Chains A and B, each alone.
Chain A
Amino acid sequence: MRHMLILGGGTAGTIMANKLASALDERDWRITVVDGTEEHYYQPGFLFVPFGIYRMREIVKPRRQYLPGRIKFVLSGIERIDAEKKTVMLSSGEALRYDCLIIATGADIHPEQIDGLLNEEWGRSKFDFYTPKGADRLAQFLKGWQGGKLVLSIAEMPIKCPVAPLEFLFLADAYFTERGMRDKVDIHLVTPLSGAFTKPVSSRVLGEFLERKGITVTPDFDLGRVDNKEKKLVAWDETEVSYDLLVSIPTNMGNACIARSGMGNELNFVPTNKQTLKADGLEDVFVLGDASNLPSSKAGSVAHFQSEILFQNILEHIEGRPACAHFDGHANCFIESGFGKGLLIDFNYETEPLPGEFPLPGIGPFKLLEESPINHYGKMMFRWVYWNLLLRGMELPIEAEMSMAGKRVR
């Protein structure tokens, strides 16, 4: 009996468990998923919690409910991966041997990585919205806030869901407008990027959006420390931005077990072949989702597209054939822009987000890089798609490989 071991029961791990559960013969393979917590959060929902659009209890379900019956779920942290001995040591003391390992341990925020960020003001005048607790506390705070200077700060790249900061700002603009206090709130984006986003066309379009909404951008700001007394951000080159309310996206890092295993880069992300998703230099180890060092976005849509590629490659691999399906870096993200509208971007390693239309049988077309109500409905509908189709490893009408259909190339 061979053993398929999946570390992490989040978006990536759960999709993979479902796909493999129906493909691997029960007489040959047992499948285990290890995770440190019982709760599966719909992470795209965190964005909406501070503005009272979703409540936290509406975006959480038990992990086990989304794993098929034949999967063994082990509730434990992960101590260390020993790829030589093909064994994973758990925090519980148990050791699990594997024949094939999938690392899907994700990424988390690390406010302690920035000098002065994590102190008694964390949760009072400085917040995150990437954790359930952070998003909840910010929702409570915003209800009673009288206004001032709101600064959204990105500490360093890469971050999970790179469009989330922009969506937060658009939603903040709408939230304060609808409460009749937009004139009392000064909204700022402080980012290490050279503009609103990474790639030229989308950076320009999204930059214009921010400008139109009266949101000030401070680009090329590499956050060095937070001065709590003066309430200001200080960059490594000593430039400063003051704040009344700081919404921080701290350094994102891979799971600490990756560092303990001596496998990660400087941010604990696992070096991974960007096409086959095989861990560099390790036998029988694959990496899926945010845990890898791939130059693709850290996002659920990416984990989903990767899972289709990885599924093919694992089936080849366990039969002793080379992994020949190739991931192209495809990402597809709705960008909520406030007031019941949204944008959509679709891109991969080589092709930047372009304007045009995104065809989707029966529902689309959605507008690319352009605001429209249908994109907003797409985003809101996605929560249902996530729980009912995506996690279950079902076929979605979007191909893993990016298509140029509908995109306008200048």
Chain B
Amino acid sequence: MKASLIWSSPRPEMTIAVAMRRCYSTKTIEEIEVELEKKGPEYWRFLLTKCLQDKSLDVLEHFTMSLLLEGMAEPEMSAVLRRFQFIRAADLGGSGWLVSVNARTLVELWRDRGGRPLAEPIVAELRRQNVSPLFNDLAFGEGAVAG
């Protein structure tokens, strides 16, 4: 199975961190972004680790992506779509699928035996494109944070 990234949310790790801070801060988004830039990547690592550890995966829903996926048969895709209702997949006939997914669902796919075969090529593509290195490391790396 092969995934090719078409598009993903800009600055995904900042977006996730902003969503997390939104709940606990009275500041505007611009002020939160300045605060996050000032605190630096170690603080982002702390926030992302906390979200993955505490199963507060809702903040990951703001990191979204669309991909072309090849090599997945219709019955396999249907089985995944039945269980993971927030994936959107459009059949392109013999050319594969247009798949749109958010990072929460991607983590849930990764952690699920039935979902893992779909998650693996998507995660490999995120790594190849270096889209969200810190998130990739914490959610899918060798020492991934357990949920």
A binds B: no
Chain B positions within 8 Å of A, measured between CB atoms, are: none
Chain A positions within 8 Å of B, measured between CB atoms, are: none
